[in-house]
A and B are shown apart, each in its own frame.
Chain A
Amino acid sequence: MSGRAWTRAALLAMALTAGATASAVPASELASRASTAESRGDLAGAARALEELVAAGVDSTDVLYNLGTVYARSERYGEAVWCFERVLLRAPGSFAARHNLRATRVRLARRDAARSGHAVVETQPSLSVQLGELLPLRYSVLLTVLAELAVIALWFARRRAHAELARVGATAGIALGLTVALASGAVVYARRARPPAAIVLRGGLHLLQAPRVDGIPEGALREGERVETLRREGSYTRVRTASGAAGWLAARDVGTLDD
């Protein structure tokens, strides 16, 4: 593409962006509003501003982290857990999000214990979940591709190498590259093979036998509980808990964890 064509494309993109945001509050304004509200203790106002940001498509890990923290301070623990889990799916190295997720789960457990006399704290997910969330999906795919490219390059190098030492080194490199490619491929597979995970956003919910408002309640769900989403029908989602119980839940009460 010539330089003139690039310039035209850039101008068109700017025009479209300006048109899209002309009628809405700018993202920076919303972020500023959230920060101001949070600093004066208006957690509901801060949450509203951040929710508007996310609804407008500005859902970076920073925004989700801030929203999760505001939720946690507002004792909306299920939604806070959902936000932190999403941050960690995208950025597993976010120590602040990991710390706040743990603190939120402990706060939630304390509140449940104070209300009902018992509580469950999810501290460590299952091995398959851990394997699937070892790396964000895009990093796993990237690592697999890089390992494959390395294997190919080493294979060509080995063919052209004349020295015995170089051939041995290339062979070892190929073995290592294949191992890395297979391992990261397994991580990708583990992530893709499982049904999409989700978080129960509110407390006092029950699984329903049928996707209807008058479906018979089956089992109780915990706020912040991790479930698997099986399918969607209308405004209801069929979910399965870690204990294997399956049932329907209003879709608005479940937050899906995506990459």
Chain B
Amino acid sequence: MRPSLRRALCLTATTASLATMAGEARAEVRVTVSVMPPQPVAGQPFHVVYSLQVRNDRMVQATQLQFPGMRVLANAAPPSTANMMIGGFGAMGGMFSVQSSAEYIVVAPRAGRFTITGIGAVDPQTGQAVGRSSTQTVTVTAAPPGGAQVAQPAMPAQPAMPGFPMGFPPGLFPPGMGAPEPPPPVTENDPDAPPTGQITSAQYDPAGFVRVSVDNPTPYVGQQTTLRIWLYVPSSEVACDVQHEPQLTGFWNEQLIDRTQVRCARQWFRQNVGQREMYAGLVRKVALFPTRAGRMEVGAPEVVAEYIENDGFLGQRRQITARGPSVVVDVREPPTEGRPANYVPGLLGPLLLSAELDRATVATGETATLRLRVTGNGYLGAVGIPAPPAVDGIRAHDGASHHEVDPSDERNVRGILTSEYLMVPERPGAHALGTLTVPWFDPNEGRYHTSTVQLPTLTATGPAPERDADERREDPTIALEPLEPSPSLTAHRPFFTSGARVWGVIALPPLSLLALGLARSLARWQRTRASKRDEALRNDPVSLSAQADAALAAGDTARAVDLAGRALERAKREYDTAAHTTLLREATDACDALRFGGAGDARAAVEKVRALVRALEEAS
């Protein structure tokens, strides 16, 4: 006999029960509230088991319990025959009955009398009360003096059996009947079972820990990877709650465990961890769909659990807070090789396409709705699909879009996207809407495929609506001006395509002016320089003597004498005459004789000057 069942049979219980005949014939409903232990101690948690027993297979929902003045540590959904149906031969005359129960863990802050209210049952379909009970009184005793450790109250009969979240009410298993089997050991082929072998993705703690795993750590963008979180505790009697959900930034996610229907864990497994038998409960199972490529992290969850330690007759209640590790997912981008141009990232197949028109025939100008339905893997609503092709003579407008998720196959969550387009034929006749081809990526094969659907044909009847009438109906404030009837068919050739061109053109006049000024200055300077050079050339002794020769040849003796005299004077200034004193004296005398005496041979004087200048020039 299991210890929990043995405890249930040995313990005393204060029970308030109600049996009532419901409005329907032969339907019998019993609502039971049990307090364990019967006289709880102030400050010590105690259990309240809320049981519902229905005979004759009727759907009944228990009402929510209220614990005024008490603190509820572990709350529960009220029992319901829809939640948990366990057939058996109970205490109702051996007839087939349906039973369900829920367990609350409550603590009273002080000694005294407290009441539990809200005990009853209703028909979930009509909301009509089918059973009601008076309030249940709980007498809480004071804690023993000296603060000594009070022996923990024993568990109620069959509380919180892993795998049976609602627990089993007392009396459900009468003496002689077998208790539920313990959770199964981990098997290799159960995807929800924790991986066997070395404990990974967890920080081992013999008191309890959390293990996190993703089944595909390297998915493609949009490909499902399933996150599973297990709570490991060394006891089969446990209540728990996920305090901090894992951070799922960068993923679309779909919860695969209905949190409103499952207390603590959905499924339990036995596993030997560190030579110790522990119980692993699947507390979370989430389908993740990465929205981008790269290294992404699933944040650490935190679970608070309370369990019966040592699983004996006087087992101690223990509360732990366990934090799981974060998990890294390395998301891959679908390959670029062979990727179709209109591929929408995240669109994974196989895709099933269908298209339908709500009306195959409409009057010209009226609207028909084209409904495209796509079924594929993952979140199609976040991905989207290409729009149908444009058709001449059909005006298309975007319509509503609806997205559903089908998690029935937890390994392969499917998305169903329904997009509507409003098609308005502008001309009468049959308009084939063409085909829609959607490329998708197969992560298993690692290559792209396409799915194609033939869109239906829309037939428009009746004449096209007059455009003039449409124009008249148009709001005049937003009426468009008509088209240019004879547009200029020239190409626009912009010149100012770069900053250099713009600023170059703007700078052209001042730069031209500057250049003009510079040119004028340069010309003036050159003229001055040439003038000076000419002057210098004119006063050069060699030049002067040559000029004197020319003047003599021209018969201008006076000028020739004057130039020869100037040549002589310049030669004296410019050359060193010490080595040619004889020539200098002869030339000077000849010139003086002509200039001051008025007698002499002018040609000879000029010759002497020229000889002197040549000699001086050669000497220099």
The chain A residues found within 8 Å of chain B, CB to CB, are 27-28, 31, 35, 38, 41-42, 44-45, 53, 57-63, 65-66, 69-70, 72-75, 90, 96, 99-100, 103-104, 106-107, 110, 137-138, 141, 144-145, 148-149, 152, 185, 188, 192, 213-216, 258-259
Contacts and interface: CB of A to CB of B under 8 A. Distances in A.
B510 A103 contact: no
Nearest to B398: A115
Given A53-B489, A59-B492, A69-B481, A44 B392 contact: yes
B536 interface: no
Given A31-B487, A65-B484, A137-B496, 8 more contacts: A28-B489, A42-B393, A63-B489, A137-B502, A145-B505, A148-B506, A214-B333, A259-B494
B513 A214 contact: no
Interface string B390-410: 101101010000000000000
Contacts of B480: 69, 72-73, 99-100, 103-104
Contact of B502 (A41, A61, A141): A141
Interface in B449-488: 464, 467, 477-485, 487-488
B194 to A, nearest CB: 33
Given A73-B480, A152-B509, A62 B487 contact: yes
B567 interface: no
B491 interface: yes
A31 B489 contact: yes
A49 B95 CA distance: 84
A72 B478 CA distance: 11
B508 A145 contact: yes
A27 B487 CA distance: 11
Contacts of A74: 395
Contact of A58 (B221, B479, B489): B489
Given A137-B496, A188-B502, A60 B487 contact: yes
A139 to B, nearest CB: 10
B371 to A, nearest CB: 19
Contact of A192 (B427, B499, B505, B509): B499
Nearest to B494: A259
Contacts of B509: 145, 148-149, 152
Nearest to B343: A213
Interface residues of B, number: 43
Q: Which 10 A-B pairs have the closest CB atoms?
A: A62-B487, A148-B509, A96-B481, A103-B478, A27-B489, A60-B488, A62-B484, A66-B483, A57-B491, A62-B488
Given A59-B492, A214-B221, A145 B506 contact: yes
Contact of B496 (A66, A138, A148): A138
A196 to B, nearest CB: 11
A43 to B, nearest CB: 8
Contacts of A61: 488, 492
Contacts of B495: 138
Contact of B485 (A35, A90, A144, A258): A35
A66 B484 contact: yes
A53 B487 CA distance: 11
Contact of B490 (A60, A70, A106, A138): A60
Given A60-B490, A70-B483, A213-B345, A41 B467 contact: yes
Interface in B491-528: 491-492, 494-497, 499, 502, 505-506, 508-510, 513
Nearest to A73: B480
Contacts of A149: 509
A56 B521 CA distance: 53
Q: Which among B293, B483, B488 has the greatest number of chain A C-beta atoms within 10 A?
A: B483
A214 B292 CA distance: 6
Contacts of A138: 494-496
A62 B488 CA distance: 6
Given A149-B509, A152-B509, A60 B390 contact: no
Contact of B482 (A60, A69, A90, A185): A69
A58 B494 CA distance: 13
A62 B492 CA distance: 11
B426 interface: yes
B489 A185 contact: no
B393 A60 contact: no
B506 A185 contact: yes
Nearest to B513: A152
B478 A45 contact: no
Contacts of A215: 292
Contacts of A216: 291-292
A85 B392 CA distance: 28
A60 B346 CA distance: 42
Given A53-B489, A103-B479, A141 B345 contact: no
A135 to B, nearest CB: 12
Contacts of B484: 62, 65-66, 96
A258 B497 CA distance: 9
Nearest to A80: B480
Contacts of A69: 480-483
A61 to B, nearest CB: 8
B506 A144 contact: yes
Contacts of A96: 481, 484
A53 B481 CA distance: 21
A60 B478 CA distance: 25
Nearest to B498: A192
Interface in B389-440: 390, 392-393, 395, 397, 426-427
9 contacts: A42-B426, A58-B491, A60-B487, A61-B488, A62-B488, A65-B487, A66-B487, A141-B496, A152-B513
A66 B484 CA distance: 6
Given A60-B491, A145-B509, A106 B478 contact: yes
B289 to A, nearest CB: 13
Contacts of B506: 141, 144-145, 148, 185, 188
Contacts of A60: 487-492
Nearest to B504: A141
Contacts of B392: 42, 44-45
Q: Which among B397, B482, B505, B506 has the greatest number of chain A C-beta atoms within 10 A?
A: B506
Nearest to B294: A214
Contacts of B508: 145
Q: Which among A61, A90, A99, A148 has the greatest number of chain B C-beta atoms within 10 A?
A: A148
A215 B397 CA distance: 28
Contacts of B395: 74
A31 B484 CA distance: 10
Interface in B142-160: none
Contacts of A110: 478
A195 to B, nearest CB: 13
B384 to A, nearest CB: 9
Contacts of A214: 221, 291-293, 333, 345-346
B505 A141 contact: yes
A150 to B, nearest CB: 9
